[in-house]
Amino acid sequence: MNARTVIAACGVAVLIAVTGCGSQSPSKPETPAPTDSPTEVKVAQDSPSAIPPTPVEVASEAVIPDVVANVGTEQIMGDELREAMDRMGSRSVPGVTPPPMSEEQQRRVVDSLVKRKVMHILASQSSDPVADAEVEKFFEQQKARFGTEEKFAAYLDRMRFTEEALKKSIREDLAIRAYIEEATKDAAAITDEEIAETYETFKASGRLERPQETVDVSHILVRVEGEDEAAWSAGKDTIDAARARVVGGEDFAEVAKDVSDDPGSAQRGGSYPETPRGKMVPEFEERMFSLPVGEISEPFRTQFGWHVLTVTAKHEAGTMTLAEADKPLRNHLSSKKKLQAVEKLISDARAELNVQILYPPTPDAPDAAGDAPAEAGDAPDAAGDAPAEAENTPS
């Protein structure tokens, strides 16, 4: 595994681990995983499709009951399980009927729903309500990923979501994220000794080798579609204003979060670290490798709209230094500690809430109506030993 693979490897985000959302990003429950940057050469593979979802079949003849789990005074309904399984089926290859779900697969889905319910209960008890404006802002950001109303509507149809249901899920997930950040803020302290030890382990295994030169680049995109020159002129005004804010002293990352239309990087300040040649479109790549570190480019145009970029570091091929590896290693170790803290929160809360899994039956309790409390589900892997810097790297 080379250095770029290590940096880009997906260290499990705490919220994903908690909710069991798999490929979804930590703050977007039941929304599409972040697509590739619009500046990248390749075409994103997870763009929405108008093909209707193929419901996931249940492997056995068992009928899903009205209630599949009790979590304290709340319940997880059979319809919620069916919807979750249908959404998993809708992510399969279009036109190909997914295989029936085994009881074990259903059990994992139920456990993910239970974990999410537990964390939402904890968040509701401990955190301030999420503001409507925050939900709307995030909803609009997700909607903008699709480019057009038609593509967004097709995605909602494919995932069997209404706009109201998506907003409800976003609200819950934002509450969970805020709770996790507060609950684990003291759990993720990393010492220099831990960084040095982990660095030597990675270095010895050859996982810090960078096969080619790379650049840490950040950009702001003002998306413009089509050939309407009025739209391109308006976009140029917007990117000029954004650049003027940065040149005038505002933090580039904060301006990117506020302005950029790139869903792959906006919320991390426009950052794409460790970006090699061949990853971005030619106009972007030429400036990325020629611009001196620290300078702000003039606005430039690509097929996706108007950009400005800045380069924060350039890296030669070879073994990453300790200084270069410090941030991703620190993020990796911090995420691991946070994940462990969240696992304990879930485990303790499951016991206090007397979680009961009613369906599917556990192997040692074949009756679906059994009342035995469910044990805490297996915690998701912490993505091996890879540093959790993946959210900053286009894939």
pLDDT digits over 139-176, tens only? 987 887 787 889 899 999 888 889 999 999 999 999 99
- One domain for residues 75 and 217: no
Task: Evaluate whether residue 322 is within a structural domain.
Answer: no
Task: Evaluate whether residue 290 is within a structural domain.
Answer: yes
Q: Would you tell me how many other CB atoms lie within 10 Å of the CB of residue 202?
A: 24
- One domain for residues 165 and 102: yes
- One domain for residues 161 and 274: no
Single out the residue in 263, 286, 316 at which a domain terminates.
Answer: 316
Residue 343 predicted with pLDDT over 70: yes
- One domain for residues 168 and 239: no
pLDDT at 91: 67
Instruction: Please spell the DSSP secondary structure of 53-104, one letter per residue.
Output: P-PPPBSSSPPPPSEEEEETTEEEEHHHHHHHHHHHHHTS-TT-PPPPBPHH
- One domain for residues 118 and 164: yes
Q: What is the mean pLDDT of the chain?
A: 79
CA–CA separation, 144 and 380 (whole Å)? 30
Residue 373 predicted with pLDDT over 90: no
pLDDT at 158: 86
- One domain for residues 154 and 30: yes
- One domain for residues 87 and 226: no
pTM: 0.63
- One domain for residues 65 and 181: yes
Residue 262 predicted with pLDDT over 70: yes
- One domain for residues 146 and 279: no
Task: Evaluate whether residue 192 is within a structural domain.
Answer: no
Q: Give pLDDT tens digits for 37-94.
A: 444 443 233 333 233 333 444 544 468 999 999 999 999 999 999 999 988 877 666 6
- One domain for residues 312 and 335: no
Q: Give pLDDT tens digits for 107-146.
A: 999 999 999 999 999 999 987 899 999 999 889 878 877 8
Residue 318 predicted with pLDDT over 90: yes
CB 367 within 8 A of CB 361: yes
Of 180 and 158, the one with more pLDDT = 180
Please, which residues have CB within 8 angstroms of residue 16's CB and are 6 or more apart in sequence?
22, 24, 25, 26, 380
Single out the residue in 266, 286, 316 at which a domain terminates.
Answer: 316
Of 144 and 237, the one with more pLDDT = 237
Single out the residue in 283, 316, 349 at which a domain terminates.
Answer: 316
Task: Evaluate whether residue 128 is within a structural domain.
Answer: yes
pLDDT at 375: 33
Q: Show the domain range for 286.
A: 212-316
State how many domains the chain has: 2
Task: Evaluate whether residue 201 is within a structural domain.
Answer: no
Task: Evaluate whether residue 323 is within a structural domain.
Answer: no
CB 68 within 8 A of CB 109: no
- One domain for residues 27 and 57: yes
Q: What's the CATH number where 308 sits?
A: 3.10.50.40
Torsion of CA 36, 38, 42, 46, to 10 degrees: 40
CA–CA separation, 44 and 38 (whole Å)? 9
Residue 314 predicted with pLDDT over 90: yes
Least confident of 7-16, 133-142, 160-169, 199-208: 7-16
CB 70 within 8 A of CB 354: yes
Task: Evaluate whether residue 198 is within a structural domain.
Answer: no
Chain centroid to CA 285: 25
Of the pLDDT bands very low, low, confident and very high (cuts 50, 70, 90), residue 363 is: confident
- One domain for residues 16 and 41: yes
Instruction: Supply angle C-alpha 248, 253, 258, rounded to 5.
Output: 85
Q: What's the CATH number where 385 sits?
A: 1.10.4030
Please give the single-letter amino acid code of residue 6.
Answer: V
Task: Evaluate whether residue 372 is within a structural domain.
Answer: yes
Residue 28 sits at φ, ψ, to 5 deg, of -135, 70
